[in-house]
Amino acid sequence: MPIDPYAPYDDNNIFARILRGELPCKKVYEDDFALAFHDINPQAPVHILVIPKARYVSWDDFTIHATDGEISGFIRAVGAVAREHGLVEPGYRLLANVGQHGHQEVPHLHVHLFGGRQFYAMIPQ
């Protein structure tokens, strides 16, 4: 079920539990601002989720309430993960689902990083 974009942050969401080390993940990157790990249900040869360490429900919440340091730290982390996986030259795709129409299922901001193959139509018809 897509999340309610107006709900307060849920400290028991699955990514909060991964951040606290209560649930495992296949970690590929970590710094002060972000954690990145393989998606449990990969949609491409490379499918990594990058999440901020701080408590933000969505891209909307993040871009309203995060500090400039948190925003720049998180966005730089996304770029670093792509570089570390050799995705810059062949290219890659970023996706952030937001709320009901975006079909966001986990209520902790995450950016999907897809790579390792050619992509075509941006939105399936």
Q: Is the Cβ of residue 21 or residue 68 nearer to ligand DGP in the bound state?
A: 21
**Residue 114 gets which letter from DSSP?**
E
The active-site residue out of 47, 101, 108, 110 is 110
- In the complex, the residues that contact ligand DGP under the rule CB under 6 A are 14, 25, 37-41, 49, 97, 103-106
Distance between CA atoms of residues 80 and 97, nearest Å: 21
CB 94 within 8 A of CB 48: no
Q: Is the Cβ of residue 68 or residue 122 nearer to ligand DGP in the bound state?
A: 122
Q: Is 101 a catalytic residue?
A: no
State the nearest-atom distance from the C-beta of 71 to ligand DGP, in Å: 19
Q: Is the Cβ of residue 4 or residue 69 nearer to ligand DGP in the bound state?
A: 4
State the nearest-atom distance from the C-beta of 83 to ligand DGP, in Å: 21
Rg (CA), the chain: 14
Both structure tokens of 13? 């969401």
Neighbours of 27 (CB within 10 A): 11
Nearest to 65, CA basis, from 50, 75, 73, 55: 55
Catalytic residues: 110
